[in-house]
Amino acid sequence: MSEVPAWTLAPDGLVITVRATPRGGRDAIDGVVALADGRQAVKARVSVAAEDGKANAALARLIAKAAGVAPSNVELLSGPTARLKTFHVKGDPAELVARFAVLGD
């Protein structure tokens, strides 16, 4: 089975799959992880608990910082209560890919 990358190009940015760990002790992106079904996801942790959307907001800010965009350019598309989430990051697709590609190294 071939691996599906953690992000795909969108006309106005990237769509990123994130494997989230709330109450992870600190806010950090820990690279790219392979999932059991062959997909990949950006592995991220945030220090806040997953209650009242606080962890999702913290994840969005963390992704925005890594992407070099404003937090308002990051939108949660799916998985608000799941560990696997999908975010849309608005910006130049080529620039965003370059910023996230270093995570897989």
Question: 56-97, pLDDT tens digit by residue?
Answer: 999 999 999 999 999 999 999 999 999 999 999 999 999 998
* C-alpha to C-alpha distance for 62 and 99, rounded to whole angstroms: 13
pLDDT at 5: 85
For residue 1, pLDDT beyond 50: no
For residue 3, pLDDT beyond 80: no
Instruction: List residues bridging with 32 in a β-sheet.
Output: 42
User: What is the model's pTM?
Assistant: 0.91
Class of domain 7-104 (CATH, top level): alpha beta
pLDDT at 4: 66
Overall average pLDDT of the 41-64 stretch: 93
* C-alpha to C-alpha distance for 12 and 21, rounded to whole angstroms: 27
pLDDT band at 34 (very low <50, low <70, confident <90, very high): very high
Overall average pLDDT of the 14-41 stretch: 92
